[in-house]
Structure formats: C-alpha cells, structure tokens
Amino acid sequence: MEAASIPAGSLPRTRHTGDRVGDGLLYGLTALAAILGVLVIAAIVWRVADGAWPALRVYKLGFLWHNEWNAVTSKFGARDFIIGTIVTSFGAMLLAAPLSIAIGLFLSELAPPSIRVPVGTLIDMLAAVPSVVIGLWGIYVLAPFDANHVQPLIHSVLGWIPIFGGNAHTESTVFTAIVVLTIMTIPITSSICRELFIGVPSELEEGSIGLGATRWEMVKTVVVPSVRGGVVAAIILGLGRALGEAIAVTQVIGNFIPLKHTLFAPGDTIASRVANQYQGATTTIQIAALIYLALILLVITFLTNLAAQRVVKRFEFQRTGGD
Amino acid sequence: MEPTAISLRATGRSRRRLLVNKAAEGGAVLAAVLAIGVLAVVVWSVGSRGVGAINLDFFLKGPSSDFFGGKGGIAPALVGSLLLVGIATAIALPVGVLTALFVSEFAPRRAAEQVRLWLDVLNGFPSIVIGIFVFTLAVKTKVPVLGVGHHQSAVAGGFALSIIMLPLVARSTMEVLRLVPNHLREASYALGVSKWQTVLRVVLPTSLGGILTGTTLAVARAAGETAPLLFTCAIAGQIVDWNPTHSVQSIPLTIFEYSESADPGLHQQAWAAAFVLIVFVLVTSLAARLLLERSRRKLGLAR
C-alpha cells in the first residue's frame, strides 16, 4: 500500500554536495589549525634539543652540577643558575602565595560588591605591565629602596641567619629579584584563587556562619579546604611563571656567579643568563651551551605546567562529580 | 529593685575569636591594598620620569647619534613594534580562531580536551625559550625555514610573538564561542542550513566582538614582550625601516637596551619609551576588558 507520495525531486535524498564539501573543508581547516598549535610544541622541544645537542654531547649531564661559565676556556656548567632559579622562584612563591590567597579572599568574601570589580581589574592590570617595564622600575626605584631600607632592616633583625647576612646595602641582589617575581606572580595566582573561592557553594559558607563561625573561621574550615587542590595548582602556575621570567630578573639580579650564601648579593638564574648572553655568545659551543640552559628551563616548566594542569583537571572532576 | 545589667560585650574566648577574625580581615585588605599600591607606584614612577622626554620629535625621529645629545626619538622602534605585532597578529588570529572553532564546534570531546590542555602548556612556556626556538629555526639554521635567510628579521620576531599570542587568542575565542546560545545554532539547522554555513554565518558573527577584544588583549601582551625578540630581532636601529625581511628595532628591546646602558640620557629615553608602552598596554587592555564584559553580558542576556 502506498502512503501519500512525495513528488520525486522535491526533497533531496542527501544533502547538497556543496554542503558536504563545505562541512568537510571547514572541519579539515579547523582541525589543521588545532594540530598546528600542538605541533608547535613538538617543534619547540625538537629544535631546542637539537640546538643544545653539541653542548649535550660535550658536557653530558655533568652540565647540571658543574659550576662555571667561561667563554675563554669553553667550560660551561649550570649548577648555580639552577640553584638561582630555584631560590628566586620558591622565594617569590613563599611571599606571593599567602598574599595571593589573601587577595583572592578579599575579592571573593570580604569586599563589598561595588569595589570587587574595580579592585580586581586593577590587580589584573598589574599583570598587564610588561616585564621589561617592571625590570626598569626594579633597577632604578625598587633596587635602591631595597638596598637603603628593606635589606638593612631585615639584616638588623635576622642578620644572624646566613641567608640574610653579608652587605645589606648591595643594589643588585637576589632579594630584589625575588620581590620583582613576587609582584609578577601575584596577579596570576590571586585571580585563579578568586575564581576558586567564588565557586565554593554559598550553602556551605552560610551553614558555617549559621553555626556561629566567624568569617575567618568559615574561610579556614570551609572555603579554603574545599578548594585546596585548586589553590595548589594556582601556586604551581605562578611558580611556572616565576621560573621562566627572564627579562625583569636579568635587569635586577646582577648576573653573577658563583652564588653567595646570602640573598643580599648578586646572583643569576637560567632564564636570566640566557637573556643576558644574547649578544655575547660567539662560539658555536657557547651558543649550544646557552641553548642547553634553555632546554633545562623548558623541561622544568613543562613538568610544572603539566603537574598544575593535572591537579586542576582532577580538581574540576572532583567538584563537578565527573561531569 | 534594679535588674542586673547583662553585658553583651564578648569576653574570653569569643573575644579572642572576634579579634583573630578582625586581624585576618585586616590582613586580606592589606594584601589587596599592597598589590594596588605597587601598581600605582610603578605607573607613577614611569609617568613622572618619562613624561619629560616626550615631545613630537620623540615619536618622529630616530635615536640621536650625538654623543652628548641624549635627545632624539624612538621612531624606528615604534615602526618596528608595529610591524612585529602586525605580523604576529596576522599569524595568530586565523590559527587561533580556527583552533577554537575546532574545539568548540567540531571536535569530539576527547580531542577537544587534548587541544585545550596543550594550548595551556604552550601558554606556560617561558617566552625566552620561544625566542631560542625561533632563533634555532630562523637564524641559526642550515635551511632558512621562514624564507627570509639566516638572519634576524621582523618575520622571525613576529613569528616568535605569534606563538605567544596563539594560546591567548584561542583561549579567549573558545570562551566567547561557548557563550553563543545553542538555540541560535539549532534555529539555523532547523532552517536546513548546513553546519559550515551555520558556523560561518551565525556562530562567528555573533562572537565577532568577543574575538576581537580577546585578540586586542593578546596584542597588548605581545607588544610588551621582550624575551622572544632578544635573539630574533635587532637591538639597534638608527633609521625607520618598513621592510619585514630586515631586522627591526622594537619598543621593549629599546627599553631593555637603554635600561642597561651607562648613559643617564638614555635612561630618560628608556623611561619615556616605557611610558609610551605602559600607556598603550594599559589603555588597550582596559578598553578590551570593558568591551569583553559588555559583549559577554549581551550574549548572556540573549540566552
């Protein structure tokens, strides 16, 4: 039995060829772009490893703990740059982490709604200031201020601890580099913290207040514990930024190895040395050694970033119940 | 008989809890004030030191070759920065937008997650490493990959900046695309419009404003980047040069060079250039953020 017949040709059985081609083309084009973005990462790793190869072959892994940077004898090692990188970034995070959490709490829990947006915007603007400008300010404003006021003050109180010893009036110091990195990481870490704290369900907060907790007790027992993983990830992301910052650090740190046992002395970091030597490198092996330094930096930041992303992922999974 | 007065003032343990609470709140306020204070001090230092050297010549002339002069301008650096950022945007904008379209319109969930993850990883790469990468690719290489020979050039520098911009453009575009209401797409499909036409004629135009403001934020970031240019672009340039295959001067590198110089006249120039840069960056990012907020609200209401 025939149903109501549709006249042939009035409804196409398949879609227009043009549409199929168009769909395929746009799909292919967008996929290509996405693959390109991922391929750039592979290309970066490959080219940097390749460029470092002459130095890798000569110095091998001993490069990591050898401590010398002598272009005349072509003896290169990275130990103090690695230590400098670790000291400056961890020092910066030691200062930036509590400050960022406090700012995040201020913006999410404490500030009246009318000032949340402007204050948040201003702190984001701090992130927009180019590192070379922070560095310029670091050399001519912050470093003298540190040398004349901050460092002597710390020295007079805590001078008995070796890391605060030495001549507190030095201008180019590891300490100033730590302060600069703190300034540069606070906006990143604090804005992630703010988002995390805002995401805490208000029923939890209200329940805690309803039980008689003060605001601080609510933050301590409910807000922060429920997003702990995210806060850790925010700090790791800030750390990644601090590890890789080259320009501002090289401007204030004084570019000097061997490192002293005090923060009030010049030092150097991996990124800072690479930035500082951009014109100085002439011999093939010295260029390769510089690229070796960049390779170390690449590996470190790659690992920290992946770690942070994993924590974030797991945290999101936990919060959304695997949605 | 007089009733005994009951004091409502907190004592003992509750008093301590309230004091601790006050101290904690004070600490949080202080931290926010500190961060804003630093921004104010930086902007004020740059402004007060830089504004004195700014005049018409500063924008129109090259650096002075007169040893005692210290005057002169940053015209070559301005033009160079324009070229570099232009090249970077020309690469990063299409690739970034297409990547975002793939993730939010076409890709299966697994693939989308992977692309998003690797974009974040790319965003976390230190800019100095990207500088070294382009250096090994374009300058110190047997095959001139970028097609402009084995030397520093605006193309090489712009390419390095585009790698910085790509994850920023892609990320912000993804966020805007996610805000495009699904019923717009469904309405388009219901009219029998194919997917590619829907994407190009409905989804993209709706999110155009957001994409452009996101790109502006990325431009502001790229304009201030120094590290990727260290190895790929010139550090000195006396004359204005519009040729992208030549090595060009740029604003951030000028500031970097002058700040490390021993000549106080050049320090003044560095402050002035920093003032120009910081005004450009802050004004564009602030404007872009306000626009983004607006377009987000508009899309949010449309939902």
pLDDT at A13: 55
pLDDT for A250-270, tens place per residue?
Answer: 999 988 888 888 899 999 999
Give the residues across from A75 on adjacent strands: A70
pLDDT over 60 (residue A5): no
Cβ within 8 Å of A, B 168-197: 170, 194-197
pLDDT over 60 (residue B267): yes
- A322 band by pLDDT with thresholds 50, 70 and 90: very low
pLDDT at B292: 77
Count the neighbouring beta carbons within 10 Å of the beta carbon of residue B108. Answer: 7
Contacts 24+ apart (CB under 8 A), B20-29: B20/A214, B20/A216, B21/A214, B21/A215, B21/A216, B21/A217, B24/A215, B24/A216, B24/A219, B25/A110, B25/A215, B25/A216, B27/A102, B28/A102, B28/A103, B28/A105, B28/A106, B28/A110, B29/A106, B29/A110
Measure the CA–CA gap between B218 and B162, rounded to whole angstroms: 9
pLDDT over 70 (residue A14): no
pLDDT at A317: 62
pLDDT over 60 (residue B236): yes
pLDDT for A133-175, tens place per residue?
Answer: 999 999 999 999 999 999 999 999 998 888 898 888 888 999 9
Instruction: Give the architecture-level CATH label for domain A60-320.
Output: Orthogonal Bundle (1.10)
pLDDT for A178-234, tens place per residue?
Answer: 999 999 999 999 999 998 999 888 899 999 999 989 999 999 999 999 888 889 999
Residue B266: list chain A partners with CB under 8 A: none
Total count of residues recorded for chain A? 323
A145 Cβ partners below 8 Å, 6+ apart? none
pLDDT over 70 (residue A3): no
Mean pLDDT of chain B: 86
- Of the candidates B212, B199, B180, B177, the one whose C-alpha atom is nearest the C-alpha of residue B292 is B212
pLDDT over 80 (residue A110): yes
pLDDT for A45-54, tens place per residue?
Answer: 999 999 899 8
pLDDT at A1: 46
pLDDT at A320: 58
Q: Write down the residue that tokens 């975002």 correspond to.
A: B100
Percent of chain B having pLDDT more than 70? 89
The answer to whether the CB of A230 falls within 8 A of the CB of A315 is yes
pLDDT for B145-204, tens place per residue?
Answer: 565 566 778 888 999 999 999 999 999 999 889 888 899 999 999 998 889 999 999 999
Measure the CA–CA gap between B49 and B51, rounded to whole angstroms: 6
By DSSP bridging, strand A69-70 and strand A75-76 are antiparallel
| Inter-chain CB proximity A133 and B46 less than 8 Å | yes
Count the neighbouring beta carbons within 10 Å of the beta carbon of residue A62. Answer: 11
B214 Cβ partners below 8 Å, 6+ apart? B168, B169, B171, B172, B173, B175, B176, B288, B292
B-interface mutation test, from A25, A241, A247, most B Cβ less than 10 A away: A247
Exposed/middle/buried for residue A13 (C-beta within 10 Å: 0-12, 13-18, 19+): exposed
Helix, strand, coil abundance in chain B, percent, nearest 5 = 75, 0, 25
Higher-pLDDT residue of B76, B222: B222
| Inter-chain CB proximity A31 and B107 less than 8 Å | yes
Picking from B106, B170, B259, the nearest residue to A27 by CB comes out as: B106
Number of A to B CB contacts under 8 A, please give it.
Answer: 271
B-interface mutation test, from A132, A184, A303, A312, most B Cβ less than 10 A away: A132
- Separate counts of helices (H) and strands (E) for chain B: 12, 0
Residue A118, preceding peptide bond in cis (omega within 30° of 0): no
Residues B121-157: b if buried by 16+ CB within 10 A, e if exposed:
bbbbbbbbbbbbbbbbbbbbeeeebbebeeebbbbbb
Mean pLDDT of chain A: 88
pTM of the full structure: 0.90
Measure the CA–CA gap between B166 and B162, rounded to whole angstroms: 6
CB-based contact (8 Å) between B51 and chain A? no
CATH of B66-302, one of 1.10.3720.10, 3.90.79.10, 1.20.1560.10, 1.10.8.50: 1.10.3720.10
B168 Cβ partners below 8 Å, 6+ apart? B92, B96, B123, B214, B217, B218, B221
Percent of chain A having pLDDT more than 90? 55
Region B264-287: mean pLDDT is: 91
- B2 band by pLDDT with thresholds 50, 70 and 90: low
Q: At what angle do helices A284-320 and A17-59 cross, to 10 degrees?
A: 130
Distance from CA of B1 to the nearest CA of A (A): 35
Region A53-62: mean pLDDT is: 88
Region B83-102: mean pLDDT is: 95
The DSSP line for B210-253 is: HHHHHHHHHHHHHHH--HHHHTTS-S--SS----TTS----HHH
Query: To which H or E segment does residue A75 belong?
Result: strand A75-76
Picking from A219, A278, A305, the nearest residue to B230 by CB comes out as: A278
B204 Cβ partners below 8 Å, 6+ apart? B101, B211
Identify the closest residue of chain A to B193 by CA–CA distance: A19
DSSP label of A6: P
pLDDT over 50 (residue A323): no
Distance from CA of A156 to the nearest CA of B (A): 24
Higher-pLDDT residue of A4, B222: B222
pLDDT over 90 (residue B137): no
Look up the ipTM and state it. 0.89
The answer to whether the CB of B44 falls within 8 A of the CB of B33 is no
Region B16-32: mean pLDDT is: 93
| Inter-chain CB proximity A126 and B38 less than 8 Å | yes
Measure the CA–CA gap between B214 and A128, rounded to whole angstroms: 14
| Inter-chain CB proximity A298 and B41 less than 8 Å | no
pLDDT over 70 (residue B6): yes
Provide the phi-psi class of A56: left if phi over 0, else alpha when psi is between -120 and 50, else beta: alpha
| Inter-chain CB proximity B28 and A29 less than 8 Å | no
Percent of chain A having pLDDT more than 70? 91
Region B227-243: mean pLDDT is: 77
Region A60-69: mean pLDDT is: 85
Domain assignments of chain B as residue spans, ordered by start: 12-53, 66-302
Q: Write down the residue that tokens 């040398």 correspond to.
A: A147
Domain assignments of chain A as residue spans, ordered by start: 60-320
